[in-house]
């Protein structure tokens, strides 16, 4: 891409500038676990995530407009509008897990939400909660209160962001649950367009931005199996890896099983065969 300027790298994605108004997001097949990118790729993982995001963008534009302009024929590249990104990560939790569970155990609260006593790990919350965090350049994002988030984006904008985030989560969680997948929690990135209108960006309701749990195995009272990464985690535990860089190479059977889980999630949620998506990526927008 001779006229395309590389502007940023994520752990598993690259961003290029197409011109002053447009970006190209390219999803690689890299996979991270325990916050380390592994040396082995999962074939088509980036295509699954690109297709899922695009599917959700097409189905949620009645809730909030989004940055999607189109998908490229490689099925892993998204052309999008360039926005002024808000300096907060917009997390919604429907279940108590991860850093939310840690905060609840320590204080009974998550981001200023007082939760009922006696919740078990991974339990469904009475209502989904908006739990913003700051974008840490390195390491983990840090949970913040709504008051701290209001200082970062403005009080009125935060009210709008919280309403949109909760509505997006409720919509997608209900849709996924009907297809056997629990969306335990999710993270959005939002930005502002040239008219200061709120626009949904980045990736949405993918296994990298959300916790996907198989509904048929849901058992609160401990951590849940991951829909997509469980074979990878189990393998990494079985070899006694210390969870610091570099991670282990994955054997072929773990790669194949993991690829199949990504494709299964794509097909269950979109109702589109993965081969049909590869032949014409924009079928997920219909
Ligand atoms: C943007 N990020 C963080 C790569 C992606 N539409 C947009 N306009 C302006 N900036 C961005 C977007 C989008 N999307 C978002 N960086 C720039 C998301 N990263 C995380 C790491 O992987």
Give tens-digit pLDDT for 19-42.
999 999 999 999 999 999 999 999
Ligand 1 atom closest to the CA of 202, numbered from 1: 14
In this prediction, residue 77 has a pLDDT band, given cuts at 50, 70 and 90, of very high
Average pLDDT over the chain, rounded to whole? 97
Q: How many Cα atoms occupy the beta-carbon half-sphere of 127 within 13 Å?
A: 8
d(CA 30, CA 46): 8
**221: CB partners within 8 A, 6+ apart:** 120, 121, 122
Q: Whose CA is nearest to atom 15 of ligand 1?
A: 202
- The CA 66 to ligand 1 mean position distance, Å, reads 13
Tell me what pLDDT residue 166 has: 98
- Which phi and psi angles does 50 have, rounded to 5°? -65, -45
d(CA 104, CA 26): 36
In this prediction, residue 2 has a pLDDT band, given cuts at 50, 70 and 90, of confident
Q: Whose CA is nearest to atom 16 of ligand 1?
A: 8
Task: Please compute the mean of the pLDDT values over residues 207-235 and round it to a whole number.
Answer: 98
**Token pair for 43:** 């074939």
d(CA 198, CA 146): 18
Ligand 1 in reach of 225 Cβ (< 6 A):
no
Element (H, E) at 261: helix 252-270
For 247-272, write each residue's pLDDT tens digit.
999 999 999 999 999 999 999 999 99
Ligand 1 in reach of 8 Cβ (< 6 A):
yes
- The CA 157 to ligand 1 mean position distance, Å, reads 19
Task: Please tell me whether residue 78 adopts helix, strand or coil conformation.
Answer: strand
Tell me what pLDDT residue 135 has: 79
Extended beta strands in 133-225, E state:
133-134, 142-143, 181-192, 198-201, 210-214
Task: Please compute the mean of the pLDDT values over residues 80-104 and round it to a whole number.
Answer: 98
Ligand 1 in reach of 187 Cβ (< 6 A):
no
Residue 99 has pLDDT above 90, yes or no: yes
Q: Whose CA is nearest to atom 5 of ligand 1?
A: 10
| Cβ atoms of residues 257 and 45 within 8 Å | no
Select from 228, 226, 265 the least CA-distant residue to 97.
Answer: 226
Tell me what pLDDT residue 4 has: 87
Residue 1 has pLDDT above 90, yes or no: no
In this prediction, residue 207 has a pLDDT band, given cuts at 50, 70 and 90, of very high
Tell me what pLDDT residue 125 has: 98
Q: What is the DSSP letter of 188?
A: E
Ligand 1 in reach of 44 Cβ (< 6 A):
no
Tell me what pLDDT residue 138 has: 65
Q: Whose CA is nearest to atom 21 of ligand 1?
A: 10
| Cβ atoms of residues 232 and 249 within 8 Å | no
d(CA 28, CA 14): 8
Cis peptide before 246 (omega within 30 of 0): yes
25: exposed, middle or buried (Cβ count in 10 Å: 0-12, 13-18, 19+): buried
Q: Whose CA is nearest to atom 3 of ligand 1?
A: 202
In this prediction, residue 275 has a pLDDT band, given cuts at 50, 70 and 90, of very high
Ligand 1 atom closest to the CA of 82, numbered from 1: 8
Tell me what pLDDT residue 279 has: 99
Token pair 């335990």 in the structure block, residue: 184
Ligand 1 atom closest to the CA of 81, numbered from 1: 6
Task: Please compute the mean of the pLDDT values over residues 169-192 and round it to a whole number.
Answer: 98
d(CA 36, CA 254): 17
- Percentage with pLDDT > 70 across the chain: 99
Residue 190 has pLDDT above 90, yes or no: yes
**Token pair for 162:** 């919280």
- The CA 53 to ligand 1 mean position distance, Å, reads 14
Q: Whose CA is nearest to atom 19 of ligand 1?
A: 10
* Model pTM score: 0.97
Tell me what pLDDT residue 277 has: 99
Residue 49 has pLDDT above 70, yes or no: yes
């Amino acid at each position: 891409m001779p006229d395309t300027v590389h502007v940023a790298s994520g752990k598993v994605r690259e961003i290029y500038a197409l011109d002053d108004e447009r970006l190209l997001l390219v999803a690689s097949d890299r996979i991270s676990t325990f916050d380390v990118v592994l040396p082995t790729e999962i074939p088509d993982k980036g295509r699954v995530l690109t297709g899922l995001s695009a599917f959700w963008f097409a189905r949620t534009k009645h809730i909030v407009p989004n940055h999607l302009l189109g998908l490229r024929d490689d099925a892993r590249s998204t052309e999008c509008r360039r926005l002024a990104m808000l300096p907060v990560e917009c997390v919604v939790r429907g279940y108590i897990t991860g850093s939310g569970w840690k905060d609840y155990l320590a204080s009974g609260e998550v981001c200023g939400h007082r939760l009922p006593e006696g919740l078990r790990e991974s339990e469904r919350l009475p209502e989904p909660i908006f739990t913003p965090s700051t974008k840490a350049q390195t390491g983990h994002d840090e949970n913040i209160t709504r008051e701290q988030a209001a200082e970062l984006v403005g009080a009125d904008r935060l009210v709008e962001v919280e309403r949109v985030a909760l509505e997006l989560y409720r919509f997608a969680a209900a849709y996924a649950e009907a297809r056997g997948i629990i969306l335990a929690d999710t993270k959005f990135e939002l930005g502002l367009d040239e008219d200061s209108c709120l626009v949904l960006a980045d990736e949405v309701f993918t296994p990298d931005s959300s916790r996907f749990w198989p509904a048929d195995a849901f058992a609160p009272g401990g951590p849940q199996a991951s829909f997509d990464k469980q074979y990878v985690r189990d393998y990494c535990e079985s070899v006694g890896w210390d969870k610091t860089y570099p991670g282990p190479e994955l054997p072929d059977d773990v790669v194949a099983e993991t690829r199949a889980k990504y494709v299964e999630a794509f097909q269950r949620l979109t109702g589109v065969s993965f081969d049909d998506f590869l032949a014409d990526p924009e079928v997920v927008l219909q």
